């Protein structure tokens, strides 16, 4: 996608950071030495796991036009040296200033966009995609960045450029924003992961709207405690230019967000449980009342600071009511009309791999969902039950080399909230699948209705074959992903395509 952008002169950018550099045109700033090409600037900083300065020789061999290297002393700032045909420039505190450097180089693209950042344990991807989809349905070009990839909204997951992380690094983020501007985007919605916030990947990024969805157990292998995890999420409140803060008051952590928000930030409350009379009068609000679920979607009455409207859409599950509320609020605070948004909701499509429904010919219908945390699995099963008139099946596993504490929790949740459970594999990585399964089974009361099938495809097929019309099979954990990680190998596996294939067969 970098061909969308013309070469830029790096000299003017570096002058703003008290560095006199050669008058050189370059195409991009790159943090990963493997992505370096001719006319790239390799940015060599010390990361959380690796030190980019160790990869300067590799970047030079791949044709880097220039290297910006982080140095520990202020006196070295601005020093230049030549190695082969590459200019190496010393930059003091480069890691801390990188987002600003990249934004300056790419022409401050965020200033030309409505930027909406969404954080929370669950719901980030769905909310970001719904925000982009609604803006697209209003007739504007809109972009998204997150778990599914990055790109202009087209309702085709295949059109998104894959990114290494949910929230890209500072250089990639600013390049993407510049490309969106070049494609006449008016808005970008992005997922702000806790890792990205702690690692300053979006520090300095002008943000118009911040959205908090919820907080439940996840990533404790990285953050250590729930308190540190929650604090990491709240870093989003420190983004420059932030004026609108949207919080889901159905989640207990929302109160901490409200307390942490500055007086200059407007608070908008989301809830499926509260009435406007229960809210602080200075808050704006988007509330869902009279929520109803049916076989192919849901409806509710939206009560908001911008008026009331009947909402009907093809989404499944109670948590998608919350996600849609967040998306609607994000656009309402930016000035978009409620009546147009309510009409657009009629045409909203489910997000790929997020409570995505596949109808079968002669068996129970199938839902593919990304749920891979205890709370997400429980929410998915509770939501699936609302759309199920018969037996509810669940098929899931847990990832290897990740938080082991959630495995027995997820097993217990699956048994309590579904009629029949198929325990299988899900990115076992370096761990033995049977060991992971043993952890999952640990808190299950008995073996009634529980089947262990390590072959994930077989587990899904067996559940579908057992089902009858009116039943529902929830396949959780993979969602939109297209690989299965076993050992050190990432093997092709597209669960959505596999389920779609089975749904069209007479089993």
Query: In this predicted structure, what is the pLDDT of residue 170?
Result: 92
* Residue 95 located in a structural domain: yes
pLDDT of 1 above 50: no
40-44 β-sheet, strand order: 28-30, 40-44, 66-71, 86-92, 80-83
Q: Convert the pLDDT of each residue in 50-90 to its tens digit.
A: 999 999 999 999 999 999 999 999 999 999 999 998 999 99
pLDDT of 48 above 80: no
Q: What is the mean pLDDT of the chain?
A: 94
* Residue 268 located in a structural domain: yes
* Residue 498 located in a structural domain: yes
134 and 328 Cβ atoms separated by less than 8 Å: yes
Is residue 49 domain-shared with residue 136, that is, in the same domain? no
Is residue 361 domain-shared with residue 428, that is, in the same domain? yes
CATH number, position 493: 3.90.190.20
Query: In this predicted structure, what is the pLDDT of residue 223?
Result: 59
Distances (CA, A) of 232 to 195, 206, 215, 351: 8, 18, 11, 26
Query: In this predicted structure, what is the pLDDT of residue 296?
Result: 80
Is residue 185 domain-shared with residue 265, that is, in the same domain? yes
Is residue 448 domain-shared with residue 383, that is, in the same domain? yes
Is residue 401 domain-shared with residue 266, that is, in the same domain? no
Cα–Cα distance, 40 to 33 (Å, whole number)? 10
* Residue 351 located in a structural domain: no
Q: Convert the pLDDT of each residue in 349-373 to its tens digit.
A: 999 999 999 999 999 999 999 999 8
Is residue 163 domain-shared with residue 90, that is, in the same domain? no
List alpha helices for 42-110, DSSP H.
56-61, 94-105
Is residue 95 domain-shared with residue 221, that is, in the same domain? no
* Residue 489 located in a structural domain: yes
117 and 239 Cβ atoms separated by less than 8 Å: yes
Is residue 264 domain-shared with residue 125, that is, in the same domain? yes
* Residue 350 located in a structural domain: no
Confidence label for 2 from pLDDT (cuts 50, 70 and 90): very low
Q: Convert the pLDDT of each residue in 312-346 to its tens digit.
A: 999 999 889 999 999 999 999 999 999 999 999 99
Is residue 302 domain-shared with residue 409, that is, in the same domain? no
Is residue 485 domain-shared with residue 462, that is, in the same domain? yes
Is residue 406 domain-shared with residue 327, that is, in the same domain? no
Domain count within the chain: 3
70 φ/ψ angles, rounded to the nearest 5 degrees: -70, 135
pLDDT of 224 above 70: no
Is residue 408 domain-shared with residue 491, that is, in the same domain? yes
Domain boundary among 78, 104, 130: 104
Query: pTM for this one?
Result: 0.84
Domain boundary among 322, 345, 368: 345
Cα–Cα distance, 8 to 28 (Å, whole number)? 8
Domain hosting residue 244, numbered range: 108-345
CATH number, position 26: 3.40.1390.10
CATH number, position 290: 3.40.1190.10
Domain boundary among 104, 124, 155: 104
């Amino acid at each position: 996608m970098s061909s969308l952008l013309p070469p830029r002169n790096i000299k003017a950018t570096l002058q703003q950071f008290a560095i006199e550099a050669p008058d050189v045109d370059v195409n991009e700033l790159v943090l990963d030495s493997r992505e370096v090409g001719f006319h790239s600037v390799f940015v060599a900083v010390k990361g959380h796991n690796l030190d980019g300065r160790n990869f300067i020789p590799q970047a030079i061999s791949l044709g880097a036009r220039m290297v910006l290297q982080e140095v520990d002393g202020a006196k070295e700032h601005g020093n230049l040296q030549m190695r082969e045909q590459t200019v190496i420039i010393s930059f003091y505190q480069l890691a801390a200033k990188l987002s600003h450097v990249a934004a300056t180089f790419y022409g401050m693209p965020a200033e030309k966009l409505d930027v909406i950042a969404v954080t929370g344990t669950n719901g980030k991807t769905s909310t970001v995609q719904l925000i982009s989809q609604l803006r697209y349905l209003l007739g504007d070009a809109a972009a998204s960045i997150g778990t599914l990839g990055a790109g202009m909204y087209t309702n085709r997951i295949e059109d998104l450029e894959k990114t290494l992380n949910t929230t890209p690094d500072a250089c990639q983020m600013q390049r993407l924003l510049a490309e969106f501007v070049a494609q006449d985007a008016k808005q970008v919605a992005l997922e702000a992961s806790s890792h990205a916030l702690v690692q300053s990947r979006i520090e300095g990024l002008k943000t118009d709207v911040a959205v908090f969805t919820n907080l439940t157990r996840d990533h404790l292998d990285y953050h250590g405690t729930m308190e540190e995890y929650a604090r990491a999420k709240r870093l989003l409140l420190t983004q420059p230019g932030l004026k609108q803060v949207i919080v889901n008051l159905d989640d207990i952590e929302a109160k901490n967000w409200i307390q942490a928000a500055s007086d200059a930030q407007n608070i908008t409350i989301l809830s499926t449980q509260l009435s406007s009379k229960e809210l602080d009068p200075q808050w704006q609000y988007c509330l869902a009342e009279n929520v109803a679920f049916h076989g192919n979607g849901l409806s509710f009455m939206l009560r908001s600071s911008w008026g009331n409207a009947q909402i009907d859409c093809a989404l499944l599950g109670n948590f998608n009511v919350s996600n849609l509320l967040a998306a609607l609020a994000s656009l309402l605070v930016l000035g978009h009309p409620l009546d147009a948004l309510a009409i657009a909701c009629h045409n909203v499509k489910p997000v790929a791999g997020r409570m995505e429904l596949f109808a079968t010919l002669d068996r129970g219908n199938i839902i593919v969902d990304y749920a891979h945390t205890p709370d997400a699995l429980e929410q998915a099963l509770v939501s699936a039950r609302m759309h199920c008139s018969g037996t509810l099946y669940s098929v899931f596993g847990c990832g290897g080399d990740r938080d082991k504490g959630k495995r027995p929790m997820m097993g217990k949740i699956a048994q309590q909230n579904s009629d029949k459970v198929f325990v299988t594999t899900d990115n076992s990585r370096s761990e033995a699948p049977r060991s992971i399964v043993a952890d999952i089974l640990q808190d299950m009361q008995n073996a009634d209705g529980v089947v262990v099938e390590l072959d994930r495809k077989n587990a899904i097929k067996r559940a579908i074959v057992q089902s009858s019309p009116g039943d529902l099979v929830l396949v959780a954990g993979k969602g939109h992903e297209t690989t299965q990680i076993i050992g050190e190998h990432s093997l092709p596996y597209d669960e959505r395509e596999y389920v779609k294939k089975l749904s069209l067969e007479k089993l």
